[in-house]
Amino acid sequence: MKVYTYKNCDSCKKATKWLSQQGLAFEQVAIRDTPPSVAELQKMLGYQAGELRKLFNTAGGDYRELKMKDKLPTMADDDALQLLASRGNLVKRPFLLADGFGLVGFKQADWALAFSR
């Protein structure tokens, strides 16, 4: 299982701590240095019922700087995924891909439910 995180992100710290407390092995990847690939983003998009906005860090400076709030509704999925793959700061984190599911952001109850299946 792979978890993309940012070192100064509190949600990322909580998520990795939670995973460790559950005894779950994971590979941690620095999202700014190595953003998820287009293939990984496509996989996550499927896990998020095709809701592209869920993959974006809408609270981030890059999102505001690029005026993504205005652009995203009319942007083609392929273009949006290419942009996310090229700019890790735009990706919602933590970004976890496991066998059969994917999670973005950290809500402990949601993660506990996903791992209990």
List the beta strands (DSSP E) in the chain: 2-5, 27-30, 95-98, 101-104
Domain count, the chain: 1
Residues β-bridged to residue 103: 96
Q: Which residue carries 């095709």 as its tokens?
A: 50
Q: What is the pTM of this model?
A: 0.94
pLDDT at 6 over 90: yes
Domain of 66, in residue numbers: 2-116
At residue 20, the pLDDT reads 97
**Over the stretch 15-64, which tens digit does the pLDDT of each residue have?**
999 999 999 999 999 999 999 999 999 999 999 999 999 999 999 999 99
At residue 82, the pLDDT reads 98
**12: CATH:** 3.40.30.10
pLDDT at 117 over 90: no
Which one-letter DSSP state was computed for residue 35? P
Q: Give how far Cα 53 sits from Cα of 38, 56, 84, Å.
A: 15, 5, 11
In 3-state terms, the chain is what percent helix, strand and coil (to 5)? 50, 15, 35
